[in-house]
Structures are given as C-alpha cells and as structure tokens.
Amino acid sequence: MPVPSYGAMPISKTFLLVRVLQVISMVIIIGITSNFVSLIVSSGVEAPKEFVGTLSVTCIATLYVAVSIAFYWSQANIGLLVMSGVDSLLLIAFIVVAVTLGKPLSFLNCYVIGKTSAEVNAESAYAFTMSVTQNLNTMGSNLPLGNWAGATRTNCFQSKTIWGLSIGLCILFTTSCALLPTLFYKNKKANTPKSVEV
C-alpha cells in the first residue's frame, strides 16, 4: 500500500518515520522497564513509582500509536487534528516521565560505579543489602529509584537509557504535534476545488 500523501508527500513520509521511531523507542522502554519491575518485585520489594508510572504511560502510548497508524493510513482527515491533540497530551505525559526519572538519575555517574576501592564497594553493597532486607515483604515498602539504579553499573546504564528514550519521545511527539495540523491543512488545500472565473 502506498503512503497517503495528504497533499504533501514529504511531510507525510516524515510523519510516518516519526511514528516508527516512536514505536521503536516505546518498545525498548517497555522491555527494559518491565525487566526492572520484574526483578524488583521478585525480590519482595515494591517497585519504584517512577518505573511503574513510566511503564503505564508507555504502554498506553504504544496502544494509541498502533491505532493512530491505521487512522493515518485510512485518510482520516479530521482525525489528523484529533491525533494532534492526543499527541500533545502524550507529549505532556512524557515530559513528566522524563523530569521524574531525571531527578534521581541525573546525579548518577555510571562509570564510577564499581571503580572505587574495595572498601567503598563493600560498604555500598552492605548498605544496599540492608535496605533491601529491611523492606523485604513489607507491604507499601519501597526503595527509591536511585538505590536501584545505582546498585550496579548495568542498572545505571539501563535506567539512563530509559530516561534518554523518554527525552527522545518528547522530541518525537513535539514533531508529530507540528506535522499533523500541517498535513490537515495541506490536504484541505489540495482537495478544495478551485473557482472558475467567467
């Protein structure tokens, strides 16, 4: 099936590229975040609210993006404006996610984790283990995101990947918010019959 032009083929193809990049970013976020939540819950501790919120917002956004591609392909003219409104709401949601994740993660230096002296590593591991055991199987207990992300270098890089992709999704949803109304007006202009002068 050919890509619908909406009266401006380059803009239409750009929008489709943005949608594909959004889907790829969201699938990666869902995979990493769900792995984190699974590991944390299996240790008997409540998952950090930042991860749960990120997972919820990303799952809803992925469902919407999958449905919106079908509307886009079926020449939904007025639907372009509706999609622009929903994209704006998702932009706000991902800004909140990026800021919430960024507060504890911006201070972590992943390259330093594991490179300090053996005594510092042992103290850090002991403090982390003690905080986990104190919160183990206690309803409503949770450890802050910084504790989980800073536990290992892998956790740190994965957490920062989630944060970076959330920032990238802010940029992608901003782009789609700008392209959708443009496609609507270009399509309207292309389909308006020209008046014939007598």
- Total domain count, the chain: 1
The pLDDT-based confidence of 124 (bands split at 50, 70, 90) is low
Q: Tell me, yes or no, whether 195 lies in a domain.
A: no
**Residue 81 falls within a domain, yes or no?**
yes
89 within some domain:
yes
Question: Could you tell me if residue 139 is inside a domain?
Answer: yes
Pick from 61-70, 105-114, 179-188: least confident: 105-114
Instruction: Flag whether 114 is in a domain.
Output: yes
- DSSP, residue by residue, 93-105: HHHHHHHHHHHHH
pTM of the model: 0.82
Domain containing 157: what range? 9-189
User: Looking at the predicted structure, is the pLDDT value of residue 46 above 70?
Assistant: yes
pLDDT in tens, 50-76: 999 999 999 999 999 999 988 898 887
The per-residue pLDDT of the chain, averaged, comes to 84
Task: Specify if 146 maps to a domain.
Answer: yes
Q: Would you tell me the crossing angle of helices 49-73 and 9-42 to the nearest 10 degrees?
A: 150
pLDDT at 131 over 80: no
Neighbours of 53 (CB within 10 A): 16
Domain-located, residue 66? yes
Residue 183 lies in a domain: yes
